[in-house]
Structure 1
Amino acid sequence: MESKTFKILSIDGGGIKGLYSASILASFENKTGKNIADHFDMICGTSTGGLIAIGLANGMSAKDLVDLYIANGSKIFPTSNSNLIRGFQNSYKSFRQIFFSNKHSVKPLKRILEDLFGDKTMNDSTNLLCIPSFNLTNGQPKVFKKSGSQTEHFVDNTIKLVDIALATSAAPSYYPIHEHNNFLYTDGGVWANNPSLCGLLEAIDYYVGEGKEFDDFSILSISSITTPNGWVSTSNKSKSIIGWKEKMFQTALDGQSYFTDYFLLKIVPKINPKGKYFRIKSPELSKAQMNIITMDRADKKTLSTIQSLGNQVGNTYATKPEILAFFKSIKNYKNI
């Protein structure tokens, strides 16, 4: 009997840089002529990656998601195309972010999500899903799951997709904490910005291995764009919150993503000799690109730059055997 492979797609968090991940996936769809969601049994996504995962599992193509970022990026993260006006905006928002409130209003994002998904719940998704968040009420990580019959737990299947999307993307100090069913949630990136490990654990717990439906697994992990986050030198080693600025949150995201990647490279061969893990990493950036790409800058120039990087990386990888292997057959797990 031919072995069955459980295929997992994992998408990192990164704010507006989700356009990069969506553009890579759109390149794969364009090159192969195949829909992403039809070829992965499980899709995992954190923060903006969670929005992509939910969209793919609910009838959207990767190209649809690219168009969504381009059309709505400046609404979700209001950014002027004028350098002068943008400078004033950033100063005001940073002041508010440090002393008073979250940097951005969640209302535009919530309206867009409601228009897309309405009252649809996790159970309406056509793929298994793992969407990390963090439950501030009980102080524990939370993974929202579209669960299969093997798991015997369906607690998340009736939760609205809008609530899950807002829970995974509530980045500390950028967006407000999301409340659902008397629990408070913040961005899943605080502990699982690269959610590949969440998918692997779910797979080996319920779907892959002796006595289970699948014999082995393959994971395709899509990084966000990362910029060099190191400091060559600093005269002030006793930095305040203001001194750290965005580096505090970004350092945590990058460190977690790097460790998960390293851990999986080491552990996957030991868990399952036939198991595969492949990660598409961030491209190297020019100084000009580093100066304009952030989690929440969404002016036309930045969006165009992010999309172009995604297209370049996607076209480079689309013909590689490691990628084509994911599209040789449609997903095996049927959950609808």
Structure 2
Amino acid sequence: MAQKNKRRVVRYDRIIAVAVIFIILIVLLVSCISSCGEGGSSDGSSSGTDNSSASTDSGGSAPEGTDNSGTDSSAPADPAGYTSVSMNADAVYTGDLIVVNKDYAYHFPDNEDNLVSIYLNKLSTYQAKDWDTMLDKDILTQFNALMDGYYKSTHNVDIMVISGYRSKATQESMHTSKTSEVAAGYTEYHTGMNFDLGIFPKGKNSYYYKAEGDYKWISDNMPSYGFILRYPEDKETLTGVKGKSYKFRYVGVPHAAYITENSLCLEEYLEALKSYNPEKPLNVEAGGKSYRIYYVAASKSGSTDVSVPTDKPYTISGNNMDGFIVTVEMN
């Protein structure tokens, strides 16, 4: 008996079911990949992952508001056209603008090679007490210029330098013998920038310098050469010294001009300068030139960064107290 062939029946419902399952698997796979990618760029808050090093990694970006330049971002920036120079702590005690008085002692340097005999280096238009009367050689150069101008104007040769630099030993001896009330270390004679003048007219009695007659030319013109009267008559409470018409001090042209014009003593001037800084300097006109002058407080420990111009000549002087005076020549 012959067999009957069985017909294979295609089950489309099963094919459709498999296709749907396959599509669902693809969707789930894509969703998983996307989710994992987002997790990789997260802020590290997911458990099991320590991303704390990201905030200290030097290769990472700095948090907003921090400064990676190597300087303290809280420090004021130098004004445009300025840079900083480092001044060591001892520099506070040196310079043309140091003050020495009963409150601030002189800091003696290791050597004093800049001192010279006035007698051996003076002009023939004035006199010096003896060979041992000395000044700082740079100050003597300015004094020679002052006395040259004086002679050309008056043809007078009566002026004598009767006192200049004093060593510590000399001042100690004078204090012990009561020829000076000032203890060693507390007089500006140690600086080599301080001196006394006398008048020695030929055939007449000598006397301390007074700003009268021909001699007044010196007082009227000395600021143009950088000199001031060190102890004005009405400043005793500030200087600690009674007014002396014959004691002079070198401070530099712009400072001498401002001090004299405003009837100040050195102590007053240095205190007033503390209100000026690189952003708000004191502007002074003197000798046909313009100057900017300002104060920078010294660091209480170590060196001090002092703002100075990058394209103009300047000088820096300590004040022998607590800071530095910068003098910029503008033209």
TM-score range, shorter chain: under 0.3
| Structure with more strand by fraction | 2
TM-score by structure 2 length?
0.26
TM-score (norm 1): 0.26
Which structure has greater helix proportion? 1
Q: Indicate the structure (1 or 2) with the bigger Cα radius of gyration.
A: 2
Q: Which has the higher contact order (CA 8 A, sep 6+)?
A: 1
